[in-house]
Amino acid sequence: MDFQDQDTVGDNRYLVKPLYKAAQVLRTVCQSPTALTLKDITELCEIPKSTVYRYLYTMQKLDMIAHDPRSETYSPGLGLWWLMQTADPFANLRLVGRRQRRKLMKRFNATVSLGVLTGSQILYLEIIECSRSLRMRAQPGARDEVHSTALGKALLAFRPRSQWDALIPEKMVRRTANTIVVRRDLLENLEQVRRNGYAIERGENEDGASCIAAPIIDENGFSVASISVSLPTNQTSDALFSEIVAAVVDTCQIIQSRL
Amino acid sequence: MDFQDQDTVGDNRYLVKPLYKAAQVLRTVCQSPTALTLKDITELCEIPKSTVYRYLYTMQKLDMIAHDPRSETYSPGLGLWWLMQTADPFANLRLVGRRQRRKLMKRFNATVSLGVLTGSQILYLEIIECSRSLRMRAQPGARDEVHSTALGKALLAFRPRSQWDALIPEKMVRRTANTIVVRRDLLENLEQVRRNGYAIERGENEDGASCIAAPIIDENGFSVASISVSLPTNQTSDALFSEIVAAVVDTCQIIQSRL
DNA sequence: ACTTTAAGTTTCATGTGGTGAAACCTCGGT
DNA sequence: ACCGAGGTTTCACCACATGAAACTTAAAGT
């Protein structure tokens, strides 16, 4: 959910500290919703100001950070954006079927998420919020564990069984009372998901929230992403549930035919 | 058009070299259409391999670069993508009105571009290619000068006149025989664009290519972006031309009402 | 108008640690 | 088994990243 922690570094032998610390500065600038001053960054990063100053200066030259002399503030630069142009591996995925996903959100007035697998975590590529009062609080870029999310189970189920073991986290962290924390149970669940073609989850990741997800399958029959509909558990009758299942599966099929 | 040149650095006093060189490595990895090996990067950047090795190692830890041990190759990492989530200043602009722009492309079977002003250059945010045999060769992220493009003129015309001088490049580079290279001529042209509400360009940036652009205006009456339709000059009758003008202006109006 | 304070900029001495040549592995090909 | 090409590790050197402190600037308080 949070930004990946960089605290625990095993083998520092080859770590180039300036890079490491500058990245910290860059992240700080990018994460801030507002433009930051030198002082802000100094305090947030806990790096001496002359050092931060030099980093900012260098990154500015590199176009990674933009400096507004008027307000003395720093903000993310265009160079970053430039890099992404060619480097964004999910650009296409986010683009294709945006409309179907929005339609899905509108139809059930529920949050629709698009996620991919990174390691043994789900990375949220897109979260289309509904207008309900209580909704998911996650942002695109956030992560969750595979074992506690419908997105994760849908994605995992349609990977080769041989990968399952590696992709399921060592320790399956308990998020709620309903979270599946026994490896065997999860494997069983995945088999079922594979048979059904969709995954469901009732309060396993967040109390009171349920989720229905289906995979987007590539030409080799393996999942590349998954789409989910989330809504409060108490608002889901059985009839609605199966209606949503059909809609999600349908949406995924449309999208996968477009890829 | 090319990546910004980093060759000419005025004041090296505060430049942190490791950052600078690592950025070079990162760019190389991101720009390559294919995953690169250590050797490739070493040669492309002309930096000793142990140094590149350490940079890659560090950036890998930072999640900026992904390393595939199977093939011994490096590719852009997810950390970059993460940064962009919050840092992409144009995300909204690219999203809103995508459909209208695509419709525009389909209607005239011509390339539709979306651009913003960065310094005295146009930055292409989006280029929707048509199916014609000869089309624009630019990629999103590419740049062109304001003075030789319809996008640039549409954008510039609807900025405060007081900014014109600063935003027009010192030396107006000649791209073709038709390029406007005299400052006075350009200013006159801008006034006309402002009166008309749209900008046209016939082979001023690329021989044989014409372009029609209109601005997207914000609440203060200033342009934030512009949209253009490009097609071969020899395929543009006067009737078609005015039809396109109407369509582009219309599209921009729809989009600006949505922002 | 003067003082004070806070923030950005520059300088400088210090010694860390970034550097690259070269040695060392590791593995695929012949 | 040998060979070569690439990736990994070592090592000694001294460039240069570093942070404290001095300096500059600008704005806020009195």
Q: Give mean pLDDT in consecutive 10-residue pieces for chain B, a chain of 259 residues.
A: 39 87 93 88 92 93 90 88 77 87 92 89 88 66 90 94 86 92 94 95 91 92 93 87 94 91
Task: Please give the pLDDT value at position B18.
Answer: 94
Chain B positions in Cβ-Cβ contact with residue A33 (cut-off 8 Å): 86
CATH 1.10.10.10-classified regions of chain A: 12-87
Please, which positions of strand C sit below 7 A from a protein CB?
6-11, 17-22
- Joined together, the tokens standing for residue B3 give 């990546």
User: CB–CB of B87 and A30 under 8 A?
Assistant: yes
Nearest to B132 by CA among B97, B99, B106: B106
Spanning CA of B124 to C1' of C19, the rounded length in angstroms is: 39
Spanning CA of B49 to C1' of D1, the rounded length in angstroms is: 30
Task: Please give the pLDDT value at position B133.
Answer: 53
Fill in the DSSP letter of residue B2.
P
CATH 3.30.450.40-classified regions of chain B: 91-258
Spanning CA of B81 to C1' of D24, the rounded length in angstroms is: 40
User: CB–CB of B141 and A86 under 8 A?
Assistant: yes
Spanning CA of B215 to C1' of D6, the rounded length in angstroms is: 53
Task: Please give the pLDDT value at position B136.
Answer: 58
Alpha-carbon gap, residue A40 to A251, rounded angstroms: 45
Among A47, A57, A82, A122, pick the best mutation site for testing chain B contact (most B Cβ within 10 A). A82
Alpha-carbon gap, residue B158 to B152, rounded angstroms: 10
CATH class of domain segment(s) B91-258 = alpha beta
Spanning CA of B67 to C1' of D9, the rounded length in angstroms is: 19
Give the CA distances from residue A187 to residues A162, A224, A249, in Å, rounded to whole numbers and listed in that order.
12, 19, 21
Q: Which of B85, B123, B139 sits opposite A140 (nearest CB)?
A: B85
User: CB–CB of A141 and B81 under 8 A?
Assistant: yes
3-state secondary structure at position B6: coil
Chain B positions in Cβ-Cβ contact with residue A84 (cut-off 8 Å): 80-81, 84, 88
Spanning CA of A17 to C1' of C5, the rounded length in angstroms is: 34
Among A51, A52, A86, A114, pick the best mutation site for testing chain B contact (most B Cβ within 10 A). A86
Among B82, B126, B258, pick the best mutation site for testing chain A contact (most A Cβ within 10 A). B82
Task: Please give the pLDDT value at position B41.
Answer: 93
How close A70 comes to chain B (CA, Å)? 16
pLDDT (tens digit per residue) in B21-62: 999 999 999 988 788 999 999 999 999 999 999 999 999 999
Q: Tokens 């924390």 — which residue?
A: A181
pLDDT (tens digit per residue) in A203-233: 999 898 899 999 999 888 889 999 999 988 8
Task: Please give the pLDDT value at position A254.
Answer: 94
Chain A positions in Cβ-Cβ contact with residue B23 (cut-off 8 Å): 62, 64
Q: Which of A18, A86, A118 sits opposite B78 (nearest CB)?
A: A118
- Joined together, the tokens standing for residue B210 give 């014409």
Q: How buried is B111 (Cβ within 10 angstroms: 0-12 exposed, 13-18 middle, 19+ buried)?
A: buried
Alpha-carbon gap, residue B228 to B230, rounded angstroms: 6
Give the CA distances from residue B89 to residues A75, B85, B95, B125, B214, in Å, rounded to whole numbers and listed in that order.
10, 9, 12, 11, 21
Question: In sequence order, which ranges of chain A are alpha helices (DSSP H)?
Answer: 17-31, 38-45, 49-61, 78-87, 91-95, 98-108, 150-157, 161-167, 183-196, 238-258
> Which segments of chain A have a pLDDT < 50?
1-10
Task: Please give the pLDDT value at position A179.
Answer: 94
Residues 96-125 of A with CB under 7 A from strand D: none
H or E segment to which residue B232 belongs: strand B223-232
Chain A positions in Cβ-Cβ contact with residue B58 (cut-off 8 Å): 14-16, 19-20
Task: Please give the pLDDT value at position A153.
Answer: 96
Spanning CA of B40 to C1' of D4, the rounded length in angstroms is: 18
Q: Which of A9, A19, A87 sits opposite B22 (nearest CB)?
A: A19
Please, which positions of strand D sit below 7 A from a protein CB?
5-10, 16-21
Chain B positions in Cβ-Cβ contact with residue A26 (cut-off 8 Å): 83
CATH class of domain segment(s) B12-87 = mainly alpha
Nearest to B254 by CA among B112, B97, B116, B102: B97
Task: Please give the pLDDT value at position B149.
Answer: 95
Q: Which nucleotide is nearest to B49 (CA to C1')?
A: C20
Task: Please give the pLDDT value at position B3.
Answer: 35
Task: Please give the pLDDT value at position A119.
Answer: 78
Chain A positions in Cβ-Cβ contact with residue B78 (cut-off 8 Å): 118, 123
User: CB–CB of B19 and A58 under 8 A?
Assistant: yes
Q: Which nucleotide is nearest to B47 (CA to C1')?
A: C20
Task: Please give the pLDDT value at position A7.
Answer: 38
Residues 57-116 of B with CB under 7 A from strand D: 72
